[in-house]
């Protein structure tokens, strides 16, 4: 997929050029995506239109984190803290719809969403557009040596999810040359459990070359 990028962006070791992103030095990928999103989107809440500032500004995941939503610009919208809190773990279109509902209709719709998400977790593991994700053999993903000990809270959450659904909860993110950008915990877990193929978001206009 093509990562959405601003026309201009300034950050040490990061270059946006000719519609592509070049990362010249190690960087926390999620933080970089946040900075790029703020440079790309308008400075108003996508839901209520309120002007955003340092105190009320947040980023909403169009496809929520707890259903496998990845932190890339295509999946991030600037929102005010109030709207982001109200949206919770709903998908973007679900929240737009539920704001129009009241009483029993709202409750019924929420129950339907819960059932649907449970079905998705059991069938796929994550809720993302099919065109975003590919199943890739572990051997094709290039990455720096993963630390031998990564069994912290994130590992435990992945393990808990895998034991319940027998699926990985979200994809890893790689650049156009299949170099890992984000998702070390998922990759470490897959290696530990000898999972041959993992879900991957390939950013075709991004290159990591330190």
Q: What value does the mean pLDDT take over residues 173-196?
A: 94
Tell me: the pLDDT tens digits for 6-19? 998 989 999 999 99
- pLDDT at position 160: 96
pTM confidence score: 0.92
Least confident range of 74-83, 122-131, 148-157: 148-157
Please check whether residues 162 and 199 belong to one and the same domain.
Answer: yes
Q: What value does the mean pLDDT take over residues 50-57?
A: 92
CATH number of the domain at 102, please.
1.10.30
DSSP string, 39-84: HHS-SB-TTT-PBP-TTTEEEEESS-GGGT---SGGGEEEEEHHHH
pLDDT at 22 over 90: yes
Residue with tokens 């031998």: 148
Q: What value does the mean pLDDT take over residues 138-156?
A: 79
Last residue of a domain, one of 80, 100, 123: 123
Tell me: the pLDDT tens digits for 80-118? 999 999 999 999 999 999 999 999 999 999 999 999 999
- pLDDT at position 143: 86
Q: What value does the mean pLDDT take over residues 147-153?
A: 68
Report yes or no on 6 lying in a domain. Answer: no
Which of 37, 94, 42, 36 lies closest to 64 in space, CA to CA? 94
Please check whether residues 19 and 80 belong to one and the same domain.
Answer: yes
Report yes or no on 4 lying in a domain. Answer: no
CATH number of the domain at 158, please.
3.90.1530.10
In eight-state DSSP terms, residue 132 is G
Last residue of a domain, one of 93, 123, 153: 123
pLDDT at 165 over 70: yes
- pLDDT at position 150: 66
pLDDT at 149 over 70: no
Question: What is the count of structural domains for the chain?
Answer: 2
Report yes or no on 36 lying in a domain. Answer: yes
Please check whether residues 149 and 200 belong to one and the same domain.
Answer: yes
Please check whether residues 21 and 117 belong to one and the same domain.
Answer: yes
Report yes or no on 134 lying in a domain. Answer: yes
Average pLDDT value for the chain: 93
Q: Are 60 and 90 in contact (CB under 8 A)?
A: no
Please check whether residues 72 and 159 belong to one and the same domain.
Answer: no
If one compares 206 and 26, the residue with the highest pLDDT of the two is 206
- pLDDT at position 60: 96
Please check whether residues 19 and 116 belong to one and the same domain.
Answer: yes
Please check whether residues 135 and 76 belong to one and the same domain.
Answer: no
Q: What value does the mean pLDDT take over residues 142-159?
A: 78
Q: What value does the mean pLDDT take over residues 144-160?
A: 78
Last residue of a domain, one of 123, 153, 168: 123
Which of 57, 55, 68, 70 lies closest to 4 in space, CA to CA? 70
Which of 138, 128, 109 lies closest to 170 in space, CA to CA? 128
Which of 139, 144, 130 lies closest to 181 in space, CA to CA? 144
Please check whether residues 146 and 85 belong to one and the same domain.
Answer: no
Task: Say how far apart CA 77 and CA 58 lie, in whole Å.
Answer: 8
Please check whether residues 55 and 92 belong to one and the same domain.
Answer: yes
Q: What value does the mean pLDDT take over residues 11-39?
A: 95
| Domain, as residue range, for 161 | 130-205
Which of 98, 126, 123, 122 lies closest to 112 in space, CA to CA? 98
Please check whether residues 32 and 76 belong to one and the same domain.
Answer: yes
Report yes or no on 3 lying in a domain. Answer: no
Q: What value does the mean pLDDT take over residues 38-44?
A: 90
């Amino acid at each position: 997929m093509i990562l959405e990028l601003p026309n201009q962006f300034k950050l040490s070791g990061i270059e946006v050029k000719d519609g592509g992103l070049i990362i010249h030095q190690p960087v926390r990928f999620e933080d970089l995506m946040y900075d790029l999103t703020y440079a790309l989107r308008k400075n108003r809440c996508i839901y209520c239109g309120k002007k955003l500032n340092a105190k009320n500004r947040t980023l909403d995941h169009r496809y929520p984190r707890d259903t496998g939503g990845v932190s890339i610009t295509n999946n991030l919208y600037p929102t005010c803290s109030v709207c982001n809190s109200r949206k919770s773990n709903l998908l973007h279109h679900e929240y737009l719809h539920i704001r129009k509902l009241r009483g029993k209709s709202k409750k019924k719709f929420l129950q339907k969403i819960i059932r649907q998400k449970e079905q998705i977790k059991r069938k796929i593991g994550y809720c993302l557009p099919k065109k975003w994700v590919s199943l890739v053999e572990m051997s094709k993903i290039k990455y720096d040596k993963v630390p031998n000990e990564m069994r912290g809270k994130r590992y435990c959450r992945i393990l808990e999810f895998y034991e319940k659904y027998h699926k990985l909860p979200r994809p890893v993110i790689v650049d156009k040359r299949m170099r890992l950008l984000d998702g070390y915990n998922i990759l470490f877990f897959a290696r530990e459990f000898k999972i041959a193929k993992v879900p991957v978001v390939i950013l075709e206009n991004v290159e990591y070359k330190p």
